[in-house]
Structure 1
Amino acid sequence: MLSAADLPDDIDALKAMLVASEARNLRKDERIERLEKLVVAFKQAAFGRKSEKSDPDQFELALEDLETAIAAVHAEEEADAPAARRSAKPRAVNRGALPDHLPRIEEVIEPESLTCACGGCLHCIGEDVSERLDIVPAQFRVIVTRRPKYACRSCTDGVMQAPAPARLIPGGLPTEATVAHVLVSKYADHLPLYRQAQIYSRQGVVLDRSTLADWVGRAAFELRPVFDALMADLKRSTKLFMDETRAPVLDPGKRKTKTGYFWALARDDRPWGSEAPLGIAFSYAPGRGGCHAERILQGFGGVLQVDGYAGYNRLLAPDRVGPDIRLAFCWAHARRKLVEITRAGPAPIAEEGVKLVGDLYRIEVEVRGCDPAARLAARQERSAAIIAEVEAWLTHHRARVATKSPLGEALKYIAKYWDGLCLFLTDGRIELDNNTVERTIRPIALNRKNALFAGHDAGAKNWAVIASLIETCKLNAVDPHAWLAATLSAIATGHMQSQVDDLLPWNYPGKV
């Protein structure tokens, strides 16, 4: 803050200071207005009506742009501030933490002189340490393998030479780590092969997209036994989740795409304290009929948690898959239909239903991680009473609400799947909803947005195989690239088929 003594006596200088101050205030007002508009846009993207919202992935992109713009405004404001007014303390931001396993490159910055103004020598009394994240761009290198030939000067018994090392792609350019990088870029980072080829060309490495596709296809073929072992391990479980998502596939004969489906089978038993490894397996099918779920689940007997898709009902026939399959349905889907009604206007009946379902979820939060017996006891003691209230609410209002109305349809949905919705009261392993598997299929949706469609049914099957293994790695805190490189190398060097279970991601020794 300037005092009167700091102001110049010259009138022209005072006018110049006033004009400069007005200009700074005007820029400040403009920045505030821009920030306010950004906040309004953010709130609209996050909390606007469903019809006005972007889909979750588009929302993330919008959020990135908003945060970038806000950071630019802050930087502009800091640059305009006089040096004397700038805070020595940096603005608080979430900078993240740098993990211990990253290599550290130490640099020590010493003063220009260690001689004190009095002539004495300075000695170290401490230090300030800061860490910054540095990135070395991906570096291509060439592995040159030489195999010298040896012969004896005393006889003619022949030439001695070490055998050529086994390779995943005989006579090909890539190492197994290179193939792993292509797979992770395509199926984990959602970079189509033609974009990868463009990235490589900037480093002077010219690889045709079809060459990369050949590597991916060969890797998918070699990894299929590992995928089969993953699927078999999942189906030995006593409880699984299942869901399906669209997989557009090019139909060359008709010059358009057809709609196939990825069926996801997932295991996540952490909510009831099990130490069984997490896993997800995708299976491609040309349609959404329940016959595909039946084919995929052959050999499974246990609890299957699903949404309300009618195709799953055929699994209950004892001669289809097995006599022990039980279907647990999803309270999140039931609640979602009621929430949609409350958003359209005052809806006391739907609001009461939403509250009752919320009471069930609050109990589940308290028992998450407990063993099945403890979860079951809590449910029978507390959740059963709420379910009785829901049943009374459902019976009362179904008799009074028009069947074809949105509320009538929502109540009909709950009544139709009532037995499966209440199954969690009899088994502590069952969850209230199917959200676990819905979360695991999001990467498929992301890849679908980037690749638009699979080029062929066989391509979609390869997509399912590789995506299953990569996502299972991620679920088990395993670096997909490291696992793929090690697994492809093991396969190339003749890993025994009888020991394929050793190659499953959760058996990989290196965890993130």
Structure 2
Amino acid sequence: MAKRPKSEKIDVEALRAALAAAEARADQATERADEARAAADRAEAEAAAVKAQLSGDAALIAHLRLEIAKLNRTLYGQRSERTQRLIDQYELQLEELEASAAADALAAEKAAAKAAIPAPTERRRPSRQPFPAHLPRVRVVVPGPGACPCCGGTRLSKLGEDVTETLEVVPRQWTVIQTVRERFACRACEGVSQAPAPFHAVPRGWAGPSLLAMVLFEKYGQHQPLNRQAERYAREGVPLSLSTLADQVGACAAALDPLFRLIAAHVMAAGRLHGDDTTVPVLAKGKTSTGRVWVYVRDDRPFGGADPPAALFHFSPDRRGEHPQAHLAGWTGVLQADAYGGYGQLYGGERKPAPIVEAACWAHARRKFFELADIEGAARQRARKKVAVIAPLALEAVRRMDELFAIEREVNRHSAAERLAVRGERSTPIVTALEGWMRTERARLPRGSEVARAMDYMLDRWPSFARFLDDGCVCLSNNAAEKALRGLALGRKAWLFAGSDRGGQRAAFFNSLIVTAKLNDVDPQAWLADVLSRIAAHPAQRLGELLPWNWKPTSAAPTSLDAAA
């Protein structure tokens, strides 16, 4: 081993000084790195807070826009066909913005905790309504401390309690009900006695009324086909085949047929009906054909009538005029409908027992002008580099018609006499001026003009459009029938087509029951469950007690749609 030369002396102090200097530089570098990381964390937290604030503001703006749109519709009615589309668009926007705002708020809280700075202020949220009072409450008590955390004393007295409510859902529970009927033998006469078997909703039924009501409402009220229901039930551990469920649907149709007939008789006893139809694809050999579902709605509420509302649906494999003629055979009164040619023979003077009086729908007529005056729609067309023209005459026609609709909203649910008086004073001058203006402008338009065709639609049927001026019971529009058909129009996207013509007839049958219940503010599923549990033993002469407008539930379940929501 080589020895260190004696001339070389180790300067311990210099080494210590160099080490101290190196440690100081390392500490300074660490401090600078910590400060940089802290600054980055603060910047990240501030950016996250700003992002959360912007997301919350955007969600609040979307919520306020939705509320304004709904309030405008409530106060001023449906001013245009795009109002509902606009509300739907706002709801979709609000859904996405609220989800983004919640995610950004959590990210901001985490970033603030990492940067060791105060958490950002909680974003402004729309006030939440309290949970419905009819929901059961389950108390989960968190016990208080056994000793004082400050001094350790055990002499504690309760001052009160804080209650935090959390909405929870209990998964659906399937239950098998065993009905036990004991048999007894008499020792004196050796006779055997036993209580009679309980009535089932359907003969030889194995399904309870609540299960049957759920299957029916899911299929015809929520538009969930039986095959999808069967798949869901199987995942829940209850395998029910499609044919088994279909058998119960058919049996329920037979059991509820007396109520359907009572509803049909009630609808056809009205002096005024709303009528409309919509397409229903029907499965045929190798393809689908287009059937029709017709609806006739009795609704006397607009003129303060005391009779309950109801809806009657019919199915037909096509749209030939013979179908409405058969539906309304023997009926006379005022029919509010569109200008479908199949109704023509109903209005003819040779019809027996008497011609039906036609009342045209102003909403249908207005829609033709609105499509030519839709500024927003024209803007979308221009954005797609398509020709889009706004017709000034159509705008003027829409403006004049909106004045009539505004008057009708004021007299809605007033008596027929009051409605007729207001119409004579305020609506008649508007209608007279509109007819004169329309005939003058029509004479200047070429035959192929779109505006001319819209004007001809009204001018050719002007007495029918002016019918509401002579009868306070007649409405300005046919919206009652269109609302009744809305569920079918939406449901087509879910069930795609009816399996057969019989399936279309069955859909019309159950829609008559469900829509009538909704018109009377009754929860259709609760009503069906209660009726199915009672109808087999209910006296035939008192079946009217089970109709939606007379129904009194046997349970304490909520009966109105609002309470059920």
Task: Name the TM-score class by shorter chain.
Answer: 0.7 to 0.9
In structure 1, what is the equivalent of residue 382 of structure 2?
none
Question: Once the 2 structures are TM-superposed, how far is the Cα of residue 414 of structure 1 from its aligned partner?
Answer: 1.2
SS in 2 for 1:469: helix
In structure 2, what is the equivalent of residue 393 of structure 1?
437
CA contact (8 A) 2:278 2:485 kept: yes
SS in 2 for 1:422: helix
Query: Could you tell which deviates more after superposition, 351-360 or 167-176?
Result: 167-176
SS in 2 for 1:166: coil
Matching residue within 403, 413, 423 for 2:447: 403
Structure 1: tracts of 5 or more residues without a match: 1-7, 47-52
For residues 329-363 of structure 1, what are the alpha-carbon distances to aligned partners after superposition, in whole Å with 9 as ceiling and x for unaligned?
11111111111112343322111111100111111
Question: Once the 2 structures are TM-superposed, how far is the Cα of residue 133 of structure 1 from its aligned partner?
Answer: 2.5
In structure 1, what is the equivalent of residue 345 of structure 2?
314
For residues 407-456 of structure 1, what are the alpha-carbon distances to aligned partners after superposition, in whole Å with 9 as ceiling and x for unaligned?
11111111122111111111111111111211111111222221111111
In structure 2, what is the equivalent of residue 455 of structure 1?
499
In structure 1, what is the equivalent of residue 231 of structure 2?
198
Query: Could you tell which deviates more after superposition, 112-121 or 369-378?
Result: 112-121
In structure 2, what is the equivalent of residue 497 of structure 1?
540
Question: Once the 2 structures are TM-superposed, how far is the Cα of residue 20 of structure 1 from its aligned partner?
Answer: 3.0
In structure 1, what is the equivalent of residue 100 of structure 2?
73
The whole-number CA distance in structure 1 between the counterparts of 2:174 and 2:213 is: 14
For residues 149-205 of structure 1, what are the alpha-carbon distances to aligned partners after superposition, in whole Å with 9 as ceiling and x for unaligned?
22234544x422222222233333211221111101111122111111111112211
The whole-number CA distance in structure 1 between the counterparts of 2:160 and 2:400 is: 60
Residues 1:294 and 2:325 aligned together:
yes
SS in 2 for 1:485: helix
Identity of aligned residues (%): 39
For residues 86-145 of structure 1, what are the alpha-carbon distances to aligned partners after superposition, in whole Å with 9 as ceiling and x for unaligned?
467664235344332222223444543575857696656665544332221221100111
What is the one-letter code of the residue matched to 1:381? Answer: E
Residues 1:248 and 2:306 aligned together:
no
SS in 2 for 1:381: helix
The whole-number CA distance in structure 2 between the counterparts of 1:355 and 1:381 is: 19
In structure 1, what is the equivalent of residue 524 of structure 2?
480
CA contact (8 A) 1:294 1:320 kept: no
What is the one-letter code of the residue matched to 1:10? Answer: E
For residues 268-320 of structure 1, what are the alpha-carbon distances to aligned partners after superposition, in whole Å with 9 as ceiling and x for unaligned?
22222223212111111122122211211223222111112222222112453
Query: Could you tell which deviates more after superposition, 92-101 or 364-373?
Result: 92-101
Structure 2: tracts of 5 or more residues without a match: 1-28, 70-80, 375-387, 554-558, 561-565
CA contact (8 A) 2:60 2:126 kept: no
Question: Once the 2 structures are TM-superposed, how far is the Cα of residue 228 of structure 1 from its aligned partner?
Answer: 1.4
Residues 1:376 and 2:382 aligned together:
no
Flag the 1:210–1:291 CA change in 2: closer, same or farther, 3 A: same
Flag the 1:39–1:412 CA change in 2: closer, same or farther, 3 A: farther
In structure 1, what is the equivalent of residue 174 of structure 2?
140
The whole-number CA distance in structure 2 between the counterparts of 1:452 and 1:40 is: 37
What is the one-letter code of the residue matched to 2:106? Answer: A
The whole-number CA distance in structure 2 between the counterparts of 1:162 and 1:56 is: 57
The whole-number CA distance in structure 2 between the counterparts of 1:138 and 1:445 is: 29
The whole-number CA distance in structure 2 between the counterparts of 1:90 and 1:114 is: 38
What is the one-letter code of the residue matched to 2:223? Answer: H
In structure 2, what is the equivalent of residue 49 of structure 1?
none
CA contact (8 A) 2:51 2:104 kept: no
Question: Once the 2 structures are TM-superposed, how far is the Cα of residue 328 of structure 1 from its aligned partner?
Answer: 0.9
Residues 1:149 and 2:183 aligned together:
yes
The whole-number CA distance in structure 2 between the counterparts of 1:170 and 1:500 is: 19
TM-score (normalizing by structure 1): 0.87
What is the one-letter code of the residue matched to 2:300? Answer: D
The whole-number CA distance in structure 2 between the counterparts of 1:37 and 1:120 is: 52
Flag the 1:89–1:110 CA change in 2: closer, same or farther, 3 A: farther
In structure 1, what is the equivalent of residue 36 of structure 2?
15
In structure 2, what is the equivalent of residue 263 of structure 1?
294
In our comparison, the structure showing a higher alpha carbon Rg is: 2
Query: Could you tell which deviates more after superposition, 313-322 or 438-447?
Result: 313-322
Alignment of 1:101-500 (within 5 A): 101-109=134-142, 111-112=144-145, 115=148, 117=150, 128-156=162-190, 158-251=191-284, 254-320=285-351, 322-323=353-354, 325-343=356-374, 344-493=388-537, 495-500=538-543
Question: Once the 2 structures are TM-superposed, how far is the Cα of residue 403 of structure 1 from its aligned partner?
Answer: 1.8
Query: Could you tell which deviates more after superposition, 87-96 or 73-82?
Result: 87-96
TM-score (normalizing by structure 2): 0.79
The whole-number CA distance in structure 2 between the counterparts of 1:429 and 1:122 is: 72
CA contact (8 A) 1:303 1:325 kept: yes
In structure 1, what is the equivalent of residue 377 of structure 2?
none
The whole-number CA distance in structure 1 between the counterparts of 2:60 and 2:393 is: 34
What is the one-letter code of the residue matched to 2:342? Answer: G
CA contact (8 A) 1:78 1:86 kept: no
In structure 1, what is the equivalent of residue 380 of structure 2?
none
Flag the 1:508–1:239 CA change in 2: closer, same or farther, 3 A: same
Question: Once the 2 structures are TM-superposed, how far is the Cα of residue 24 of structure 1 from its aligned partner?
Answer: 4.9
CA contact (8 A) 2:373 2:395 kept: yes
Q: Kindly tell me the number of residue pairs found equivalent between the two proteins.
A: 492
CA contact (8 A) 2:360 2:465 kept: yes
Question: Once the 2 structures are TM-superposed, how far is the Cα of residue 69 of structure 1 from its aligned partner?
Answer: 3.1
The whole-number CA distance in structure 2 between the counterparts of 1:151 and 1:90 is: 74
SS in 2 for 1:332: helix
CA contact (8 A) 2:60 2:125 kept: no
What is the one-letter code of the residue matched to 2:508? Answer: A
CA contact (8 A) 1:297 1:321 kept: no
Question: Once the 2 structures are TM-superposed, how far is the Cα of residue 229 of structure 1 from its aligned partner?
Answer: 0.9
For residues 467-504 of structure 1, what are the alpha-carbon distances to aligned partners after superposition, in whole Å with 9 as ceiling and x for unaligned?
110111122121212211222223322x3333332221
SS in 2 for 1:282: strand
CA contact (8 A) 1:300 1:321 kept: no
Flag the 1:40–1:128 CA change in 2: closer, same or farther, 3 A: closer
The whole-number CA distance in structure 2 between the counterparts of 1:453 and 1:488 is: 27
CA contact (8 A) 1:241 1:436 kept: yes
CA contact (8 A) 1:116 1:122 kept: no
SS in 1 for 2:293: strand
CA contact (8 A) 2:56 2:101 kept: no
